[in-house]
Amino acid sequence: MSEPPSRGAERDLFRDTWVRYLGYANEVGEAFRSLVPAAVVWLSYGVSSSYVLADAIDKGKKARDVPGPEAGRSSRVTVAVVDTFVWQALASVAIPGFTINRVCAASLYILSTATRWPLAVRKWTTTTLGLLAIPVIIHPIDRLGSCACP
């Protein structure tokens, strides 16, 4: 998560609170992919996508409320919504989700070829590795996001 805002700065619900972690629900779904039905994984993507959409709408409303000429307001709102949506879709859903998916797929493959562990043990090990990889992936992305989005 990004650093808390300084005194006097407005707290961003979508970036400075626990709500931020809803954007990463799909990584948890990907980590559990080998153990749960596909519908659960898709549901986790629904949660993450809802977070992305809600954050984009929130940033659009904030851009709309900034004092300024009426003529540029719609462009300002559009840029804020599109910028937030694209950034969050990539940084919260697509890149981390793909990365966790590949970490889990590779670990399951390696465990299948390198061990004689029972399938259940290999799946739980893969899930554990996927869950452990989440903070390694999201913390650099969150730091980059806090630099790119004041």
Mean pLDDT by 10 residues, the chain (150 residues): 55 88 94 97 97 96 87 89 95 94 97 97 98 90 63
Please give the pLDDT value at position 1: 47
The Cα–Cα gap between 133 and 68 comes to 44
Closest CA to 149 of 93, 90, 97: 90
pLDDT at 51: 97
pLDDT score, position 147: 58
Strand, coil or helix: 21:
helix
Look at residue 68 in the predicted model and tell me its pLDDT: 80
